[in-house]
Structure 1
Amino acid sequence: MAAHYEIFRSSQNNQYYFHLKAPNGEIILASEGYLQKSGCENGIASCKAHSPYDQYYDKRVAQNLRPYFVLRAANNQIIGTSQTYSSAYARDQGIVAVKTYGSTATTIDLT
């Protein structure tokens, strides 16, 4: 399967979310919750626009000392957050994957 975004609605809080999935099905970026589906769709559009560019990635370290990254928009709002990784190298490979697939991935609406 090709890389794609999945829009889904949480049964816990009724908010909309998206995941960017790599061709192997692994989630490489997860969004915040959106009250409206249109907000979620705008988040995907922002991800597509910003994902190719290095300056929108922040490399971070979680409380458990595992590296992860966030993708920001030009207004500094966080578009998506990665999983935590076992090493800085693995995190950097995650960034490469989002840069590779983020701008061209199709969207699957699971709602």
Structure 2
Amino acid sequence: MGKYVVSTAKNGQLMFNLKADNGEIILTSETYTSKAGCQNGINSVKENSNIDARYERKVTNNQKPYFVLKATNGQIIGKSEFYSSNSAMENGIRSVKKNGPEAMVIGF
């Protein structure tokens, strides 16, 4: 089972990484000023991660695919790493869909 790992970002705010069973980071959150805000972000991933329309597939300037997960209101909840191919990115999305809804939270 995946897990949400809460930590303090370089700017002193809270953030979380969603990690797959193998420990690989599959989604990195935005930063939050409060514990409640961070928990709301985790809850939003749990609610939205199974909905394909919430994923925006993108490419960097140097053509590296990645995705962002958005909430119902269009706000970005988290983003992926940069991938080597579209198929690798789609595997990342499948992993967030699999792990996001039921992952346990570590770090609060």
What TM-score do the two structures reach when normalised by structure 1?
Answer: 0.94
Q: CA deviation at 1:64?
A: 2.1
Give the aligned partner of residue 31 of structure 2.
Answer: 33
Matched, 1:6 2:5: yes
Consecutive unaligned residues of structure 1, counting only runs of 5 or more, are none
Secondary structure of the structure 2 residue equivalent to 1:65: coil
Give the aligned partner of residue 58 of structure 2.
Answer: 60
1:14 & 1:26 partners in 2: Cα distance?
23
Secondary structure of the structure 2 residue equivalent to 1:85: coil
Give the aligned partner of residue 107 of structure 1.
Answer: 105
Secondary structure of the structure 1 residue equivalent to 2:73: coil
Give the aligned partner of residue 80 of structure 2.
Answer: 82
Structure 1 residue ranges, 4+ long, deviating more than 2 angstroms after superposition:
none
Q: CA deviation at 1:69?
A: 0.3
- Describe the superposition over 1:34-58 as per-residue Cα deviations: whole angstroms up to 9, x where unpaired: 1111111100000000000111000
2:44 & 2:78 partners in 1: Cα distance?
10
May I ask how many residue pairs the two structures share in their alignment? 108
2:12 & 2:35 partners in 1: Cα distance?
11
- Describe the superposition over 1:65-103 as per-residue Cα deviations: whole angstroms up to 9, x where unpaired: 100000000000000100000000000000000001100
2:50 & 2:57 partners in 1: Cα distance?
15
Give the aligned partner of residue 93 of structure 1.
Answer: 91
Percent identity of equivalent pairs: 48
1:37 & 1:21 partners in 2: Cα distance?
19
Secondary structure of the structure 2 residue equivalent to 1:95: helix
Secondary structure of the structure 2 residue equivalent to 1:100: helix
What TM-score do the two structures reach when normalised by structure 2?
Answer: 0.97
